[in-house]
Structure formats: structure tokens, C-alpha cells
Structure 1
Amino acid sequence: MAWFMLLLAGLFEMFGVTMINKYHHEKSVFSIILLVIGFAGSFLFLSLSMKTLPMGTAYAIWTGIGASGGAIFGMILYGEAKDWLRILFISMIISSAIGLKLIA
């Protein structure tokens, strides 16, 4: 269950980061509300996962999901660069998170 909570924390983190970008493009109260919901959910589920998982593992995977997911969302939703080096390094972040899951 802790790994599921950590995955949810990462997904909320991706959502929160996306809402920061949305707020920069469209300054509205709705964007801020969604941003707060995203990060509140992220921290809530991260803290729940850390009841069982080691802090270092949980934090590394949470930031990896948020960073890689934010970059992928940026490429899909906001037309950010999609060059092969960027995709390679995002893949390395995801591979590292999977590796941590396998050894924890």
C-alpha cells in the first residue's frame, strides 16, 4: 500500500507542477486552487508512504516521478523540446526510480 501511496504522491506532484505552468499562462483563482490541491495531495500521500518506506527511497522516487512527469507533460501539453537527449535523461530518471523500487 505504501508504494501505491507513493505513486499517488508522484501523480499529484506532476499535476501540481503542471498547474504552476497553467497559472503562468492563465492567471486565475481556479488555477491556484488546482495548484494547491495538487501539492497538498502530493505531500499528503508522500507522508503516508513514508510511514512504511525509508525516507531516502520515498523522496527519491517522489521527486523522480514529479520531475520526469513534469517534463513529459511539458513536452505533450506545452510544446517543449522533444530531442533525443532529453528523452534519454528522462528515461534514466524513470529507470532509477524503478531500480530503487526493486531493491527496497
Structure 2
Amino acid sequence: MAWIWLLISGLGEIGGVTFIKLSDGFKRWKPTVGVAVSSFISFYFLSLALREIPIGTAYGIWTGIGAAGSVLLGMVLFKESRDIRKLLFIAMIIAGVVGLRFFGA
């Protein structure tokens, strides 16, 4: 179950970063509430995952999910660059997350 909590936590991290972008420097209240809710979800579920998964593995995976997911979502929602080199490095992050999942704990 800890791995599911970690996945939910990573998705909360992606949501939090996305809402930060949408909040326009915390000037818009609805996305600002989204930041707070997403951040709570992210940290709460990370704390549940840390009960069973070593901190180095969990934090690496949480960060990787957040980083890769945020970049990919930025490409879709905010029309950010889709340069092949950028996609290659995102693939490396994803490979690192998968490696940590299977060999880190």
C-alpha cells in the first residue's frame, strides 16, 4: 500500500506545482487554495509512504514523479517546448524512478 501512497503523493506534488503556476504569484485565490490542498495531499501521503519505504528511495521517487510529471504537464497545458533533448532527460528521470522502485527498497 505504501507504493500507492507514494504515487498519490507524487501526483499531489504535480498538482501543487501546476496550481502555483496558475495562481499568478498567489494573486488568484482559487489556484492558491489548490496549492494548499495539493501540498497537503502530497505531504500527507508521503508521510504514510515513509512508514514502510526508506526515506532516500521514497524522496527520490517523489521528487522524480513531481519533476517529470510537471514538465510533461507543462508541455500539455502551457505549451512549453517539446525539444527531443528535454524528452530524453525526462525519460532518464522516469528510468531512475523505476530503478529506485525495483532496486532501492
The TM-score with structure 2 as length reference comes to: 0.95
Give the distance between the partners of 1:15 and 1:89, measured in 2 at CA: 21
Q: Quote the RMSD (CA, aligned, Å).
A: 1.2
Unaligned segments of structure 1, at least 5 residues: none
Partner of 2:17: 17
Q: How does 1:53-72 map to 2 (within 5 A)?
A: 53-72=53-72
Give the distance between the partners of 1:101 and 1:31, measured in 2 at CA: 32
Give the distance between the partners of 2:91 and 2:63, measured in 1 at CA: 14
The percent identity for this pair of structures is 44
Give the distance between the partners of 2:24 and 2:80, measured in 1 at CA: 15
- The structure with more helix, counted as a fraction of residues: 1
Deviation at residue 28 of structure 1 after TM alignment: 1.6
Unaligned segments of structure 2, at least 5 residues: none
| 4+ aligned runs moved over 4 Å, structure 1 | none
Deviation at residue 27 of structure 1 after TM alignment: 3.1
Deviation at residue 26 of structure 1 after TM alignment: 8.3
